[in-house]
Amino acid sequence: MMISRRKIGFWERISLTNKLIFIICFTSIVSFILSAIFGASFFSNYIGITPSLIFSGKSIWTFLTSIFSHGGFFHLFANMFSLFFLGNFLEKLIGKKRFFWVFFIAGIFGGIFYCISSYIFGGMSIPAVGASGAIFGLLGVLAVLVPYSRIYLILGPFILLFLEVVLSNILPASFLPAFNLIVNLLFILMIFSIFSFNATLRKISFPVELKMWALPLIAIVPLIILGFFVSLPIGNSAHLGGLFVGLIYGFYLKTKFPNKARIIRNNFQ
């Protein structure tokens, strides 16, 4: 008896995480182009979450479209870099289906938290985009399931972002083009150093080893404190919303499947 096997295509072989990365990169580039053609109003009305429109019952779909768009190359790279490592790790632990729902529910709750925060603290007309809320949801699940697993936080790009935000308000306008060029060159250098096989060269990106449970605290708390003194183009409330969903789901899995959760935790000490 002959048994035929269906050939598995390339798209079927890759992980859901990598599929999402491909889709988000594509849709983000499309949104860059559309915004350049139709202007900022198109971006705020149809792509990004604009709290004033949400509370007036308009642009509800942006809770989804905002996850698939980003504010620039640095924003897109930082999120997709994080999604690649965190997403593929979590997907292997809990499976594609659970991963899928955590990602999207955390992303939507991130948008809801952003709208609530804007209503309370101001900024109702400022649109927000990015998959950060969804990614912090994944991080929340991992922080519960594998709290002692070790991970690297790449500080270099965040340091550059901080310097760019702070110094752009201090430096003379005539110097800003040269300053932005230096920042972009350093950012590109850090990207190459991350993927380098040379341990000394990788230090340029300032990698810091942390335990998984500490990563949400390090990634959110300093930015919240800094936000009281400097206006940052970062939606910390969206990060908190996504993290909240991830933590809840992580504790749900830990309670429902205690034996499996214990085995997973013990394997990633």
Lowest mean pLDDT among 131-135, 174-178, 260-264: 174-178
Sign of torsion, CA 241 243 248 253? positive
How far apart CA 94 and CA 207 sit, in angstroms, is 27
How far apart CA 85 and CA 227 sit, in angstroms, is 27
Better-predicted residue by pLDDT, 32 or 160: 32
How far apart CA 195 and CA 137 sit, in angstroms, is 26
Contact yes or no for 99/231 (Cβ under 8 A): no
**Confidence at 134, pLDDT banded by 50, 70, 90:** very high
Lowest mean pLDDT among 61-65, 197-201, 236-240: 197-201
For residue 230, the number of C-alpha atoms closer than 13 Å in the C-beta half-sphere is 16
Angle at the Cα of 175 from the Cα atoms of 169 and 181, rounded to 5 degrees: 95
Lookup result for tokens 């948008």: 111
Residue-wise pLDDT tens digits, 175-234: 777 877 887 788 778 877 777 677 777 788 888 888 999 988 888 877 777 666 666 667
Query: Which pLDDT score, from 0 to 100, does residue 209 have?
Result: 84
pTM across the whole model = 0.86
Task: Answer whether residue 15 shows pLDDT above 80.
Answer: yes
Q: What is the mean pLDDT of the chain?
A: 85
Exposure string (b/e) for 194-205, b if CB count within 10 Å is 16 or more? beeeeeeebebb
Lowest mean pLDDT among 44-53, 81-90, 171-180: 171-180
The residues that bridge with 152 in the sheet, in sequence order, are 209
* CB-CB neighbours of 190 under 10 Å: 19
Residue-wise pLDDT tens digits, 90-114: 999 999 999 999 999 999 999 999 9
Contact yes or no for 47/102 (Cβ under 8 A): no
**Confidence at 3, pLDDT banded by 50, 70, 90:** low
Query: Which pLDDT score, from 0 to 100, does residue 102 have?
Result: 97
Task: Answer whether residue 2 shows pLDDT above 60.
Answer: no
Task: Answer whether residue 4 shows pLDDT above 70.
Answer: no
Task: Answer whether residue 126 shows pLDDT above 80.
Answer: yes
SS (H, E, C) the chain: CCCCCCCCCHHHHCCHHHHHHHHHHHHHHHHHHHHHHHCHHHHHHHHCECHHHHHCCCCCCHHHHHHHCCCCHHHHHHHHHHHHHHHHHHHHHHCHHHHHHHHHHHHHHHHHHHHHHHHHHCCCCCCECCCHHHHHHHHHHHHHHCCCCEEEEECHHHHHHHHHHHHCCCCCHHHHHHHHHHHHHHHHHHHHHHCCCCHHHHHHHCEEEEECCCHHHHHHHHHHHHHCCCCCCCCHHHHHHHHHHHHHHHHHHHHHCHHHHHHHHHHCC
Task: Answer whether residue 63 shows pLDDT above 90.
Answer: yes
